[in-house]
Amino acid sequence: MIPEKVKKILKKQQYRIVGEKGHSAVQICRWTKNSIRDEGVCYKEKFYGIKSHRCCQMTPAVMWCPNKCLHCWRAIELTLGDKLAEKAKEKLDSPKEIIDGCIKAQKKLLEGFKIKPETKHKTVSKANMKKWLEAQEPMQFAISLSGEPTLYPMIGGLIKELRKRGKTSFLVSNGLYPEKIKELAEKKQLPTQLYISVNTPNKKLYKGFHRSSKKDAWERLNKSLEIISKIKGQNEGRKTRTVFRMNLIKDLNMEDKMILEYANLIKKAKPMFIELKGYMSVGFARQRLGYERMPDYNEMIDFAKKLEKQLQKMKLDYKILDKHEHSRAIVLGKNKKDLKIKSY
Ligand code: SF4
């Protein structure tokens, strides 16, 4: 399914293609490595309580996405469009094959961390072996590695299988397939945490920023925001938490004049949380946007406070609940006690 040239690039980036049909992949997150070495955890562990060292960063649609977002660190110039959704089931790996394949590949990728007292060679690994042992069984699946995961037709089945195995799942979507989000809600196959990425306040900026193959991309995104507004939160008996996620880039999508438009989109989506993440100049994004567009922590805090003020002016009682300075990440919500994931 994936051209050899692209497979080579992915392999070089430490991706491992999993499954027989080869449309899924896993890559060890740097925070998983950091945590195994007791060198810090990711902001999602700090905010929501998932365990970075037991996290599997994966995707069932590694090279399929309708967008070419400016800030994306993946090789989006090589993506294969969005036709994965039209492939017949037998042409795709099943949820079980993908999950088993990810766990097997993750174990292999973490082999190098193992401290082998039996070998006479001085080991270089600084791994916390208790964490390394726990990491052999990932309990959190971050369905966000690359591509648009809702293009995988059996995404609901994959989430359901993860729930059955007692694992949490974070699904990060660009919101361009509202019918799929609706289907997940109707079939009660929603993830532990459902992210919709919103990186522009209006249609005009959306076009230049996302360079989508979908002419009605902005309308599709807004439809998805309406759909998640109706998804009940964790403290209303449902086990799904919705997140309005913004990736902020200096001098591009975080100007004061844009705050009211973002606030209106948040009003439409009524998310449980709003996550602000500072753009990272890594991977292929470096060539497109460079370093100088990375907002520093104070600029992120400044934007978060202005957004908080605007939302409260609109009687939407969101407030800053937590921050992660290293990742320049900030989360807003209604109540700090809602932050930690209580049930799987
Ligand atoms: S939740 Fe995200 S940042 Fe945290 S360890 Fe998993 S992939 Fe990495």
Return the pLDDT at 159: 97
Looking only at the bridges linking them, the beta strands covering 319-324 and 329-333 are antiparallel
Domain limits of the chain?
4-82+93-111+125-338
Distance CA 281, CA 317 (A): 33
Q: What average pLDDT does the chain have?
A: 93
Q: Where do runs of H (alpha helix) occur along the chain?
A: 4-12, 30-36, 43-48, 95-110, 129-134, 155-164, 178-186, 203-210, 217-229, 259-269, 285-289, 297-313
Q: Bigger pLDDT: 124 or 137?
A: 137
Rounded to two decimals, what is the model's pTM? 0.94
252 has pLDDT over 80: yes
Query: What value does the mean pLDDT take over residues 227-250?
Result: 82
User: Contact at 8 Å (CB) between 196 and 274?
Assistant: no
Topology at the third CATH level for domain 4-82+93-111+125-338: TIM Barrel (3.20.20)
> How far apart are the CA of 118 and the centre of ligand 1, in A?
32
Determine whether 183 is exposed, middle or buried from the number of CB atoms within 10 Å of its CB (0-12, 13-18, 19+).
middle
Contact status, residue 181 vs residue 96, Cβ threshold 8 Å: no
Residue-level pLDDT at 91: 85
Ligand 1, atom 2, residue with closest C-alpha = 142
**For residue 6, is pLDDT > 50?**
yes
Pocket of ligand 1 (CB under 6 A): 29, 31-32, 42, 44, 50, 52, 55, 57, 142
Percent of the chain with pLDDT over 70: 94
Separation between Cα atoms, residue 344 and residue 340, nearest integer Å: 11
Q: Is the pLDDT assigned to residue 238 strictly greater than 60?
A: no
CA of 53 to the centre of ligand 1 (A): 9
Write the residue with the smallest CA distance to atom 3 of ligand 1: 42
What's the rounded Cα separation, in Å, for the pair 285 and 76?
9
pLDDT reading at 235 higher than 70: no
In eight-state DSSP terms, residue 89 is G
CA of 91 to the centre of ligand 1 (A): 29
Q: Whose CA is nearest to atom 5 of ligand 1?
A: 52
What is the best residue among 28, 39, 42 to mutate for testing ligand 1's pocket, by most ligand atoms within 8 Å of CB? 42
Distance CA 295, CA 205 (A): 19
**Residue of the nearest CA to atom 6 in ligand 1?**
55
Cβ proximity of 9 and 78 under 8 Å: yes
- Whole-number pLDDT of residue 233: 55
